[in-house]
Amino acid sequence: MSEVAERWGSRRAFIMAMTGAAVGLGNIWRFPYMTGENGGAAFLMLYVMFVLILGLPVMMAEIAVGRAGRRTPMQALSHLAVNNQRSPHWRWIGLMGAVTVFFILSFYSVVSGWSLEYLFDSVTGRFAGQSGAVIGQSFEGFLADPFRIIFNHTVFMLMTMTVVAAGIGGGLEKLNNVLMPLLYIVLFVLVGYGATTSGFQDALAWLFTPNLSVITTSVVLNAMGHAFFTLAIGACALMAYGAYMPEHQSLPKAVLTVAVLDILVALLSGIAIFSVVFSQGMDPASGPGLMFVTLPIAFADLPGGSLWLGAFFLLLAMATWTSSINLAEPMVAMVKSDRMSRSQAAMLVGGGVWLVGLPSALSFSTLKSWYLWGDGNFFDVVTTVPTDIFLPLGGALIAVFAVWVMDRDEVFKALGGSNALCQTWLWLTRWVSIPLVVVVLMAPLIKSWLT
């Protein structure tokens, strides 16, 4: 298939599209509860380190492959491989990515559905003036209600697939350009509120004073997986966006901007959420419900709280919407063919993801004790294995492809930075990023063999 002709309208548009894919549940929902479950500051420190030494080089590699190939991920990989006299089998990295995002999207849609429910609840003033205990119980009650959970999961999946089917992702990005800054404003307000609570100092200490003794192989693995998840890399999803990157744009600069914006959202929501956790005497390791319990408590206390809370969930819904479109797009692009239109492909993929989302939706009620792995039920497994194992694995393979399969000039041209920068990237990717992924992925295995 020939090259795509479309380009993002401007450099800013490309950065905004990437930020749209990167900023989502990963920053606002997943980051705080993972930090809570993995010992606080030490996890944060590892996560930031992984973003910088692994995330940035791999993200550059992934987008550079898309930019040089200018095709959908699998086609770009096989086209570039064949041009460099290598096997077209490299394209299977694209398939692995599609399977990974399939599972990620299945739970992503369920959790985004939770925020749709909370959007509705907050504008109707349900949390206003309620105590922490009542808010906590009402979340438990909601999770245990299969009908409401599945209803919201269905609505979110329909929202995502309607946009993907119509191929109007670009329109939504534009809307998001306007909304993103608002999300930062609401987060700053929340942090401002956090600063007035008694838990603020504890929150800062919890987030920024690392206790290195909590670091285990699984904490390191979780931090690495989270770095890939939050940057939206390792599944060829950003590769698809790279294909539309304008000719004259420096990739390193764009990628650095996205990473900084992404870390900032995580930090702001972390500070806001943990201030509430500590001022309410909650357990930081309360799991996936952390954000849904703490933020309504914070807002219930603020003047005009229902409105702020509504605004927050609306912006969160927008942020998750753009991320889920990015998750769905590569699958739909792959399934679409001469005989299957874009909308049919979107229906097929959407239906499949919706079905696989059902056991996640029921993991807090009917299927709570259906243990797939140790004491992990379906939701626990699907929120960790694809993210912690398959995103880093995919990312490492993409990096191997960029540094060892592609022609040097070809990659450097696609990176579009100065020669010194490209050389640094090459060195870092080869000798630090790729070996580090291998070591972190192998460590738990080796440990379990030894014990």
Q: Which is nearer to ligand PHE, 204 or 332 (CB)?
A: 332
Of 151-180, which residues contact ligand PHE (CB under 6 A)?
A: none
**Interface pick for ligand PHE out of 122, 326, 383, 433 (rule CB under 6 A):** 326
CB of 237 to ligand PHE, least distance (A): 4
266 touches ligand PHE (CB under 6 A): no
CB of 25 to ligand PHE, least distance (A): 4
Residues 6+ positions from 316 with CB-CB distance below 8 Å: 25, 28, 115, 119, 183
21 touches ligand PHE (CB under 6 A): yes
Q: CA 67 to CA 79: how far, in whole Å?
A: 12
Residue 102 CA, distance from chain mean position:
13
* Contact between residue 297 and residue 135 where contact means Cβ atoms under 8 Å apart: yes
Q: Which is nearer to ligand PHE, 299 or 321 (CB)?
A: 321
Report phi then psi at 282, rounded to 5. Answer: -85, 170
Cβ neighbourhood burial of 4 (10 Å; 0-12, 13-18, 19+): middle
Q: Which stretch binds ligand PHE (CB under 6 A): 6-14, 173-181, 206-214, 320-328?
A: 320-328
CB of 241 to ligand PHE, least distance (A): 10
Residue type, 196: T
332 sits in the region (left: phi over 0; alpha: psi -120 to 50; else beta) called alpha
**Interface pick for ligand PHE out of 15, 16, 24, 114 (rule CB under 6 A):** 24
Report phi then psi at 372, rounded to 5. Answer: -95, -30
Q: Which is nearer to ligand PHE, 199 or 350 (CB)?
A: 350
| 372: enclosing H helix or E strand | strand 371-373
Q: Which is nearer to ligand PHE, 27 or 160 (CB)?
A: 27
Name the packing angle between helices 305-335 and 290-301 (round to 10°): 150
Alpha-carbon dihedral 333, 336, 338, 344, rounded to 10 degrees:
-140
Distance from first CA to last CA of the chain, Å, rounded? 51
95 token code pair: 């398939």
Within 13 Å and on the Cβ side, how many CA atoms surround 153? 27
Q: Which is nearer to ligand PHE, 102 or 193 (CB)?
A: 102
**Which x/- pattern over 90-109 shows residues binding ligand PHE (rule: CB under 6 A)?**
-----------x--x-----
Q: CA 53 to CA 76: how far, in whole Å?
A: 25
**Which x/- pattern over 202-231 shows residues binding ligand PHE (rule: CB under 6 A)?**
---------------------------xx-
Q: Which is nearer to ligand PHE, 17 or 135 (CB)?
A: 17
Q: Which stretch binds ligand PHE (CB under 6 A): 2-10, 25-33, 86-94, 436-444?
A: 25-33
Q: Which is nearer to ligand PHE, 135 or 231 (CB)?
A: 231
**Which x/- pattern over 229-258 shows residues binding ligand PHE (rule: CB under 6 A)?**
xx-x--x-x---------------------
- Minimal CB distance residue for ligand PHE: 26
Q: Which is nearer to ligand PHE, 24 or 36 (CB)?
A: 24
Binding site for ligand PHE (CB under 6 A): 21-22, 24-27, 101, 104, 229-230, 232, 235, 237, 323, 326-327
